[in-house]
A and B are shown apart, each in its own frame.
Chain A
C-alpha cells in the first residue's frame, strides 16, 4: 500500500512570495490533516478535512494560509504572502477510522519550506 505522498520535498522562497504544497493521502482515507512543524518542535495541526469538508481550521492563520480538498482526495496548502516565520516542515497526514475502530494518522515525508 502506497503511503502519503507530498511534493515538493523542498522549497526555498523569498518573503512575500507565494507557495503551494500538494498532498496525496493513502487511498480510501477520508480524513486529511496538514501540520506545521517548526525546527525543534512537535507538529502543530493547521487544518483537518473530512472528505472535502473542513472539520477544524482553528489554528490556520487564515490571513495568509489557505487549503482545499476539492474532490475529497488530494489537497493543496497555500501560503500567500510568506513570512520568515513560516519556515518549517509542512506535514500531511491521512487516516481512516474503521467501523468501531480508532483513528491512526499516517504521515507523509513533509515539505521543508525555507523563507529568505
Chain B
C-alpha cells in the first residue's frame, strides 16, 4: 500500500527559530495536507495543497506541493511555544477521498 515517510521524527525548537519538516512518498498524490495534533485531541488541518508546485501560507506556516507530486514540506517561521505538537502530512490519491498519513513529526521545546 501507499506509505508516507516523514522526517525528522522529532525535533526540538527554540522560540524564534524557523523549523522545517518534509514528507516523501513512493506514490503520486493529487492532494497534500498538513495537520497538527495536540495531546488528547484529533488532528486539525493547517494547510491543503492541490497542485504540483503550489506554495501556500497560513500565518507563520508555509507548505509546498512538490513538483514530482511525491513530496511536500512544511515550514514554521519564528516558532512560538504553542507550536509544540505532532505534525502529520497526509496525501490523497486519484481514487476517492482516502487519506494516507505519515508517521508524524513531534515538535518539542528545547529545555
Our pick among B45, B88, B97, B104 for the contact of A48 (Cβ within 8 Å) is: B97
Beta-carbon contact of A109 and B42 below 8 Å: yes
Interface residues of B in 29-65 (CB under 8 A from A): 31, 40-45, 48, 50
Beta-carbon contact of A42 and B45 below 8 Å: no
Tell me whether A4 is interfacial, beta carbon within 8 Å. Answer: yes
Write out the residue numbers on chain B whose beta carbons fall within 8 Å of the beta carbon of A55. 96-97
B86 to chain A: closest residue by CB: A42
Secondary structure dominating the interface of A: loop
The number of residues on chain A lying at the interface, defined by a beta carbon within 8 Å of a beta carbon of chain B, is 24
- Binary interface encoding of chain A residues 73-105 relative to chain B, with 1 for a CB under 8 A from any of its CBs, else 0: 000000000000000000101010100001111
In addition to A42-B103, A103-B92, A104-B48, 9 A-B residue pairs with Cβ atoms within 8 Å of each other are A40-B104, A43-B99, A44-B101, A45-B99, A91-B42, A93-B42, A102-B48, A109-B42, A110-B42
